[in-house]
């Protein structure tokens, strides 16, 4: 029988990217689908959605509207992921041509969803933690692996606990097996995913040996063929000394750390329910830089959280001066349904939010230019994974800089030394040594 064609669009975070890979694997194995990049020739069109801010939610409805117009006559449209969880049957009301709605954490039901008219499943605590998904990877060179699902934190701005439910860890033996399979197929980098990875081991669905995130990292680093281990996202609150020391000393753990700050002001952090202070964050970042001088640190920042004053915002600027992050993802606060902060008085006006965001991004760019300039002449070990325009080949340094050289396919999948001779903000250009 001829394979049916699947088009899938993924919005949002790395968890969603992995959920899409799981969906593709299920549909290939059980229903004989193959991927297409052409929406108009697809028999099944999926959009895997994000609801972390308002923008991606709007995007969902504009995208499905466009799908409806351009799709093949009998093609089905399914809405998956976080917005599916939070809007549920509302999606059928706003877009009646949608055939099914499948929430985050319900991915294993995809094969049923496509066969059931107006199927809807949005149980945010559905337990798929020991479901053995089939194999599909977007890249032959690295493997994304989920280590936990959901999030137990109750950050007052965040919708994710309402779309991905309570935190549950995936059994270590399944994670190890997946990493071994990746290594055997030549993907020597693994990328561990969870909403709060360094809280790993807090809760399993069945009896399970006690294991925390640091232990899991050590266990995975013992697998032959795995050369690089990355993970996202850790929580600053759980960055204890044991974790930072293993991070710094294990030669397979890539030296880039995501430390989502959100705000540099202790009062705002308390209102966000982040569980740490400005001083704790600075102490952890400084400890990390001293244990691991090559580390690059990235962060997430929300400006104009309800009630944030100019002085409180200055604390965020102060942390930026002190930590000198290599990368910042910054956002204006966006009130989300189901969250506490959406109810707070003192929502900050849009123009002030914009001014703060611009100020922060400009200052970060200046700092970044200084950091990037120091890269000139440095030698990095680069794992090549991507062909770029005009004969470029790119990959990541061990500390996560994007590095590009002139070259061809032969470089892909290899780790080679590169001397940087033209460092730019987004890409460090160099030559093989
Ligand atoms: N408004 C703005 N940004 C948000 N984030 C999460 N919730 C919101 C919100 N309501 C940001 C946080 C988080 C990142 C994934 O998205 O910085 O770390
Ligand atoms: Fe978006 Fe958060 Fe869901 Fe990821 S977990 S898709 S960032 S809402």
Pocket of ligand 1 (CB under 6 A): 52-53, 157-158, 260, 262, 300, 302, 331, 333-334, 336
Residues in a beta bridge with 392: 388, 406
392-411 pLDDT, tens digit each = 999 999 999 999 999 999 99
Q: Which of 1-5, 24-28, 71-75 has the lowest mean pLDDT?
A: 1-5
Q: In this structure, which residue's CA is closest to atom 6 in ligand 2?
A: 50
What's the average model confidence in pLDDT over 198-202?
94
Element (DSSP H or E) covering residue 411: none
38 CA → ligand 1 middle, Å:
32
pTM of the model: 0.95
Ligand nearest to the CA of 85: 2
pLDDT of residue 133: 92
423 CA → ligand 2 middle, Å:
32
Three-state DSSP class for residue 428 = strand
Domains of the chain, each with CATH number or no CATH: 4-121 (3.40.50.12160), 142-373 (3.80.30.20), 379-432 (2.40.50.140)
Whole-Å CA distances, 145 to 5, 189, 206: 25, 11, 20
- 308, 297, 379: which is closest to 347 by C-alpha? 308
205 CA → ligand 2 middle, Å:
23
pLDDT of residue 109: 97
Torsion angle defined by CA atoms of residues 227, 170, 24 and 186, in that order, rounded to the nearest 10 degrees: 20
Ligand nearest to the CA of 329: 1
Q: Name the DSSP letter for residue 253.
A: B
What's the average model confidence in pLDDT over 90-111?
96
What's the average model confidence in pLDDT over 60-87?
96
Rg (CA), the chain: 22
124-147 pLDDT, tens digit each = 999 999 898 999 999 999 999 999
- pLDDT higher than 90, residue 209: no
Ligand nearest to the CA of 336: 1
180 CA → ligand 2 middle, Å:
27
**Does residue 84 line the site of ligand 2, with CB under 6 A?**
no
State the average pLDDT for the chain. 96
CA dist., res. 188 & res. 414, Å (int) = 10
CA dist., res. 103 & res. 165, Å (int) = 11
- pLDDT higher than 80, residue 44: yes
What's the average model confidence in pLDDT over 1-10?
93
Three-state DSSP class for residue 409 = helix
């Amino acid at each position: 029988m001829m394979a049916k064609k699947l088009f899938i669009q993924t919005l949002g975070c790395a968890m969603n990217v992995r959920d899409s890979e799981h969906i593709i694997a299920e549909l290939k194995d059980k229903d004989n689908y193959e991927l297409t990049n052409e929406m108009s020739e697809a028999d099944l069109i999926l959009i895997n959605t994000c609801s972390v801010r308002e923008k991606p939610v709007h995007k969902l409805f504009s995208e499905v509207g466009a799908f409806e117009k351009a799709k093949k006559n009998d093609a089905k449209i399914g809405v998956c992921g976080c917005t599916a969880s939070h809007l549920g049957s509302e999606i059928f009301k706003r877009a009646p041509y949608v055939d099914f709605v499948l929430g985050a954490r319900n991915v294993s039901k995809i094969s049923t969803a496509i066969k059931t008219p107006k199927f809807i499943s949005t149980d945010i605590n559905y337990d798929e933690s020991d479901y053995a998904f089939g194999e599909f990877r977007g890249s032959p060179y690295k493997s994304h692996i989920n280590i936990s699902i959901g999030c137990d934190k109750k950050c007052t701005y965040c919708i994710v606990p309402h779309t991905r439910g309570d935190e549950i860890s995936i059994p270590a033996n399944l994670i190890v097996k997946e990493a071994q399979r990746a290594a055997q197929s030549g993907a020597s980098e693994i990328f561990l995913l969870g909403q709060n990875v360094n809280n790993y081991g807090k809760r399993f669905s069945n009896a399970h040996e006690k294991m925390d995130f640091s232990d899991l990292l050590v266990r995975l680093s013992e697998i032959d063929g795995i050369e690089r281990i990355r993970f996202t996202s850790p929580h600053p609150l759980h960055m204890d000394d044991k974790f930072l020391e293993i991070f710094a000393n294990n030669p397979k753990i890539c030296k880039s750390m995501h430390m989502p700050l959100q705000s540099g002001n202790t009062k705002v952090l308390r209102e966000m329910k982040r569980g740490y202070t400005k001083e704790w964050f600075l102490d952890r970042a400084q400890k990390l830089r001293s244990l691991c001088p090559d580390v690059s640190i990235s962060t997430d920042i929300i400006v104009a959280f309800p009630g944030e004053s100019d002085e409180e915002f200055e604390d965020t600027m102060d942390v930026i001066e002190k930590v000198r992050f290599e990368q910042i993802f910054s956002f204006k606060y966006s009130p989300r349904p189901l969250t506490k902060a959406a109810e707070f008085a003192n929502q900050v006006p849009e123009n002030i939010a914009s001014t703060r965001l611009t100020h922060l991004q400009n200052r970060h760019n200046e700092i970044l230019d200084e950091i990037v300039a120091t890269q000139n002449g440095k030698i990095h070990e680069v794992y090549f994974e991507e062909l770029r325009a005009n004969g470029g080949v790119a990959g990541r340094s061990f500390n996560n800089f994007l590095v590009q050289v002139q070259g061809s396919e032969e470089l892909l999948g290899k780790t080679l030394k590169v001397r940087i001779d033209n460092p730019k903000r987004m890409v460090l250009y160099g030559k093989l040594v």
